[in-house]
Chains A and B, each alone.
Chain A
Amino acid sequence: MNFRKYLVLAGVSLFACIGDTLLARGMKATGNISLHQISSMILIVLNPGVALGIFFLLLFFACYLTALSWADLTYVLPATSLSYVLLTLVAKFYLHEHVSVTRWMGVIMISLGVGFVTQGPALTEKHAPAELEPEAAVAAIAGEVRR
């Protein structure tokens, strides 16, 4: 793990938080949808808030895929759950919502979970070098050397 990789993990949390917030607001503005209105379900992406939310979720997705290319799923998921903590901070300091003691306890538990997982190894050691294609192995080694 190096600084750039932590930056990618931060991107996952940040973009997920922004995307979810925008999407939730857009969906609230649109109102209820039902199975009988398939067209309205597709047209929903024309709402500017929803569209911008989807754009941020695409950025989230790119960072998420990048993280999964060099870290375990069971590392990436808890490590990036900081997005829930960010969502609570947005609710408290930007939307000025009341955040109950229970929710702050939730924030503390998630932070503890993030702390636990990031103390450990990011990737399960396997006999990966032998399975890699020669050129990919060379590229991986070159990447390590450059760092």
Chain B
Amino acid sequence: MNTSLAYAWAAVAIIVLASTAGDVLLARAMKQVGDVGALWQSRGLFAVVGRVMTNPCFFIGVAAMATAFYSLMFGLSWGDVSLVVPASSSLTFVTNAIAARIFLHEKVDRRRWAATLFVAAGVVLLAI
């Protein structure tokens, strides 16, 4: 394995970890905020923005997303787009399903597993 390929896979690993953490934290933050549509109708846009901006999970989630974003930037400049993008995004679908089940107690039934695996496989097929 050449150095550039090793760097690309290292970037993939960091992107997957960071974006899974980010997605789970953002999902938790938004569940704490509550239905944005209903909140906007009853209390206005500022109430929505205020509630999101004062949520600690939101900021940690955004920091994790930013880490994933900059890792993607580096990954793209080191390795092929056709390796880094599909590998990281398809693996993230799978790790997110596992993390959502563990940390968000979402009911990931057979239907959702099928959807997740079909999408992850489809994303890989798009790249090869």
Residues on A facing B (Cβ under 8 Å): 4-5, 24, 27, 32-35, 41, 44, 64-66, 68-70, 72-78, 81, 84, 88, 102-103, 105-114, 116-117, 119-120, 124-126, 132, 136, 138-140, 142-144, 146
A-B contact pairs, 19 of them (CB 8 A): A33-B74, A41-B70, A68-B27, A70-B36, A72-B100, A73-B106, A78-B115, A81-B123, A106-B126, A109-B122, A113-B116, A116-B112, A120-B111, A124-B107, A126-B105, A132-B34, A138-B42, A139-B34, A139-B43
Please tell me if the beta carbons of A146 and B41 are within 8 angstroms of each other in the complex. yes
CA distance A72 to B42 in the complex (A): 23
Closest A residue to B113 using CB positions: A74
Please tell me if the beta carbons of A142 and B42 are within 8 angstroms of each other in the complex. yes
Please tell me if the beta carbons of B26 and A65 are within 8 angstroms of each other in the complex. yes
Closest Cβ–Cβ distance, residue A20 to chain B (whole Å): 9
Q: How many B residues touch the partner, as a band?
A: 35 or more
20 extra interface residue pairs, beta carbon distance < 8 Å, beyond A68-B27, A105-B122, A139-B41: A27-B73, A41-B70, A65-B26, A74-B97, A74-B100, A74-B108, A74-B112, A77-B23, A81-B122, A84-B123, A106-B122, A107-B122, A110-B123, A113-B115, A114-B119, A119-B111, A126-B105, A139-B42, A143-B41, A144-B38
Please tell me if the beta carbons of B38 and A142 are within 8 angstroms of each other in the complex. yes
Interface centre among B52, B97, B106 (most CB of A within 10 A): B106
Please tell me if the beta carbons of A106 and B81 are within 8 angstroms of each other in the complex. no
Closest B residue to A133 using CB positions: B34
Please tell me if the beta carbons of A73 and B124 are within 8 angstroms of each other in the complex. no
List chain B residues, Cβ under 8 A from A74. 96-97, 100-101, 106, 108, 112, 116
List chain A residues, Cβ under 8 A from B26. 64-65, 68
